Protein backbone atom coordinates (compact mmCIF):
# COMPACT_ATOMS: atom_id res chain seq x y z
CA UNK A 1 0.00 0.00 0.00
CA UNK A 2 1.38 3.40 -0.98
CA UNK A 3 1.35 6.42 1.32
CA UNK A 4 -1.32 8.05 -0.88
CA UNK A 5 -3.57 4.98 -0.54
CA UNK A 6 -3.13 5.03 3.21
CA UNK A 7 -3.95 8.75 3.42
CA UNK A 8 -6.93 8.31 1.09
CA UNK A 9 -8.35 5.59 3.35
CA UNK A 10 -7.96 7.74 6.46
CA UNK A 11 -9.57 10.77 4.82
CA UNK A 12 -12.46 8.68 3.48
CA UNK A 13 -13.37 6.91 6.68
CA UNK A 14 -16.66 8.16 8.03
CA UNK A 15 -18.41 6.92 11.14
CA UNK A 16 -22.08 6.87 10.23
CA UNK A 17 -23.23 5.57 13.61
CA UNK A 18 -20.84 5.55 16.58
CA UNK A 19 -21.18 3.27 19.59
CA UNK A 20 -23.01 4.99 22.42
CA UNK A 21 -20.63 3.56 24.97
CA UNK A 22 -16.94 4.26 25.22
CA UNK A 23 -14.06 1.96 26.07
CA UNK A 24 -14.59 0.65 29.61
CA UNK A 25 -12.02 1.82 32.15
CA UNK A 26 -11.99 -1.31 34.29
CA UNK A 27 -12.83 -4.11 31.90
CA UNK A 28 -12.68 -5.23 28.31
CA UNK A 29 -15.03 -3.81 25.69
CA UNK A 30 -16.13 -5.52 22.51
CA UNK A 31 -17.37 -3.35 19.65
CA UNK A 32 -19.28 -4.76 16.72
CA UNK A 33 -18.63 -3.01 13.44
CA UNK A 34 -20.29 -2.89 10.07
CA UNK A 35 -17.79 -1.50 7.59
CA UNK A 36 -19.44 -0.55 4.31
CA UNK A 37 -17.40 0.05 1.17
CA UNK A 38 -18.12 0.42 -2.49
CA UNK A 39 -16.07 -1.66 -4.90
CA UNK A 40 -13.89 0.71 -6.88
CA UNK A 41 -14.27 -0.94 -10.28
CA UNK A 42 -17.98 -1.81 -10.16
CA UNK A 43 -21.07 0.39 -10.07
CA UNK A 44 -23.55 -0.23 -7.24
CA UNK A 45 -21.60 -3.15 -5.79
CA UNK A 46 -21.16 -2.72 -2.07
CA UNK A 47 -19.42 -4.89 0.48
CA UNK A 48 -20.48 -4.96 4.15
CA UNK A 49 -17.99 -6.44 6.58
CA UNK A 50 -19.41 -7.42 9.94
CA UNK A 51 -17.04 -8.21 12.79
CA UNK A 52 -15.77 -7.37 16.24
CA UNK A 53 -12.94 -5.40 17.76
CA UNK A 54 -11.98 -6.20 21.32
CA UNK A 55 -10.50 -3.40 23.44
CA UNK A 56 -8.51 -4.43 26.50
CA UNK A 57 -8.90 -2.25 29.56
CA UNK A 58 -6.61 0.79 29.53
CA UNK A 59 -3.46 0.48 31.61
CA UNK A 60 -1.72 3.27 33.50
CA UNK A 61 1.93 3.63 32.65
CA UNK A 62 3.64 5.56 35.44
CA UNK A 63 6.90 7.47 34.83
CA UNK A 64 8.83 4.62 36.44
CA UNK A 65 7.23 1.95 34.24
CA UNK A 66 7.33 4.14 31.14
CA UNK A 67 11.04 4.93 31.57
CA UNK A 68 11.84 1.22 32.04
CA UNK A 69 10.11 0.51 28.72
CA UNK A 70 12.15 3.24 27.05
CA UNK A 71 15.48 2.08 28.51
CA UNK A 72 15.59 -1.40 27.13
CA UNK A 73 19.02 -1.76 25.51
CA UNK A 74 20.34 1.64 26.64
CA UNK A 75 23.37 2.36 28.80
CA UNK A 76 24.16 4.11 32.08
CA UNK A 77 23.85 7.70 30.77
CA UNK A 78 20.38 7.01 29.47
CA UNK A 79 19.46 5.51 32.84
CA UNK A 80 20.58 8.68 34.62
CA UNK A 81 18.52 10.80 32.25
CA UNK A 82 15.49 8.56 32.82
CA UNK A 83 15.98 8.96 36.58
CA UNK A 84 15.85 12.75 36.13
CA UNK A 85 12.65 12.37 34.15
CA UNK A 86 11.12 10.25 36.92
CA UNK A 87 12.00 12.89 39.52
CA UNK A 88 10.51 15.76 37.46
CA UNK A 89 7.43 13.94 36.26
CA UNK A 90 5.81 12.69 39.46
CA UNK A 91 2.33 13.54 38.17
CA UNK A 92 2.99 12.23 34.69
CA UNK A 93 1.02 9.20 33.54
CA UNK A 94 0.21 7.67 30.17
CA UNK A 95 -2.76 5.49 29.32
CA UNK A 96 -2.04 2.48 27.18
CA UNK A 97 -4.87 0.97 25.17
CA UNK A 98 -4.77 -2.47 23.65
CA UNK A 99 -6.93 -3.73 20.80
CA UNK A 100 -7.25 -7.16 19.34
CA UNK A 101 -8.64 -7.46 15.86
CA UNK A 102 -9.67 -10.96 14.98
CA UNK A 103 -10.21 -11.49 11.30
CA UNK A 104 -11.94 -14.77 12.04
CA UNK A 105 -14.85 -12.76 13.39
CA UNK A 106 -15.35 -10.92 10.12
CA UNK A 107 -18.03 -11.92 7.64
CA UNK A 108 -18.74 -10.27 4.32
CA UNK A 109 -21.89 -9.69 2.34
CA UNK A 110 -22.18 -8.24 -1.14
CA UNK A 111 -25.09 -6.05 -2.25
CA UNK A 112 -26.06 -4.72 -5.68
CA UNK A 113 -27.50 -1.41 -4.52
CA UNK A 114 -26.37 2.18 -4.26
CA UNK A 115 -24.07 2.63 -1.27
CA UNK A 116 -26.46 5.17 0.30
CA UNK A 117 -29.22 2.53 0.42
CA UNK A 118 -26.93 -0.05 2.03
CA UNK A 119 -25.76 2.50 4.61
CA UNK A 120 -29.34 3.45 5.52
CA UNK A 121 -30.49 -0.20 5.83
CA UNK A 122 -27.47 -1.11 7.96
CA UNK A 123 -27.89 1.95 10.20
CA UNK A 124 -31.60 1.21 10.63
CA UNK A 125 -30.83 -2.45 11.44
CA UNK A 126 -28.34 -1.47 14.17
CA UNK A 127 -30.66 1.16 15.66
CA UNK A 128 -33.59 -1.27 15.82
CA UNK A 129 -31.44 -3.90 17.54
CA UNK A 130 -30.69 -1.29 20.23
CA UNK A 131 -27.06 -2.40 20.35
CA UNK A 132 -25.09 0.32 22.15
CA UNK A 133 -21.71 -1.18 21.22
CA UNK A 134 -22.12 -1.25 17.43
CA UNK A 135 -20.71 1.09 14.81
CA UNK A 136 -21.56 1.67 11.18
CA UNK A 137 -18.53 2.88 9.25
CA UNK A 138 -18.15 3.88 5.61
CA UNK A 139 -14.69 3.25 4.23
CA UNK A 140 -12.48 2.25 1.32
CA UNK A 141 -12.72 -1.35 0.15
CA UNK A 142 -9.07 -2.09 -0.62
CA UNK A 143 -7.86 -0.44 2.60
CA UNK A 144 -10.73 -1.39 4.88
CA UNK A 145 -8.38 -2.42 7.69
CA UNK A 146 -6.88 1.08 7.71
CA UNK A 147 -10.41 2.47 8.01
CA UNK A 148 -11.05 0.16 10.93
CA UNK A 149 -7.84 1.24 12.65
CA UNK A 150 -8.85 4.89 12.18
CA UNK A 151 -12.12 4.06 13.91
CA UNK A 152 -10.25 2.46 16.86
CA UNK A 153 -7.97 5.50 17.24
CA UNK A 154 -11.04 7.74 17.26
CA UNK A 155 -12.61 5.53 19.95
CA UNK A 156 -9.48 5.90 22.08
CA UNK A 157 -9.66 9.68 21.72
CA UNK A 158 -13.36 9.69 22.68
CA UNK A 159 -12.76 7.43 25.67
CA UNK A 160 -9.50 8.71 27.15
CA UNK A 161 -10.92 11.70 29.05
CA UNK A 162 -13.51 9.58 30.82
CA UNK A 163 -10.99 6.82 31.51
CA UNK A 164 -8.57 9.32 33.07
CA UNK A 165 -11.41 10.71 35.19
CA UNK A 166 -12.29 7.21 36.41
CA UNK A 167 -8.66 6.53 37.37
CA UNK A 168 -8.49 9.86 39.23
CA UNK A 169 -11.72 9.16 41.15
CA UNK A 170 -10.19 5.91 42.41
CA UNK A 171 -6.93 7.65 43.32
CA UNK A 172 -4.92 5.65 40.80
CA UNK A 173 -3.32 8.72 39.22
How do residues 124-135 score in pLDDT, each as one tens digit? Answer: 999 999 888 899
- The interaxial angle of helices 63-70 and 76-88, nearest 10 deg, is 160
How far is 64 from 149, CA to CA, in rounded Å?
Answer: 29
| Percent of the chain predicted with pLDDT > 70 | 73
Average pLDDT over residues 119-126: 96
Contacts of 138 (CB under 8 A, 6+ apart): 12, 13, 14, 16, 35, 36, 37, 115, 119
How far is 57 from 167, CA to CA, in rounded Å?
Answer: 12
Total number of residues shown for the chain = 173
Q: Are 32 and 133 in contact (CB under 8 A)?
A: yes
Contacts of 153 (CB under 8 A, 6+ apart): none
Of 162, 146, 142, 125, which is closest to residue 16 (Cα–Cα)? 125
| Percent of the chain predicted with pLDDT > 90 | 29
pLDDT at 46: 96
Is pLDDT of 43 > 80? yes
pLDDT at 125: 95
How far is 135 from 17, CA to CA, in rounded Å?
Answer: 5
How far is 106 from 127, CA to CA, in rounded Å?
Answer: 20
Average pLDDT over residues 98-113: 76
- Domain ranges, ordered by start, for the chain: 3-59+98-169
Q: How many CB atoms are closer than 10 A to CB 55?
A: 21
- Residue predicted with more confidence, 59 or 106: 106
Provide the pLDDT confidence category of residue 78 given band limits of 50, 70 and 90.
low
pLDDT at 119: 97
Provide the pLDDT confidence category of residue 153 given band limits of 50, 70 and 90.
confident
Q: Name the 3-class secondary structure at 135.
A: strand
pLDDT at 80: 65
Amino acid sequence: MKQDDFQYAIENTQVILAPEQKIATFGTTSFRFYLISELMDRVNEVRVRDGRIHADRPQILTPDHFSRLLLEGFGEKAERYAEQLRERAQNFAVLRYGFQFRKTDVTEQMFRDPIESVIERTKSYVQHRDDHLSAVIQGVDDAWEVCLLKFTVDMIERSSGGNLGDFRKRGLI
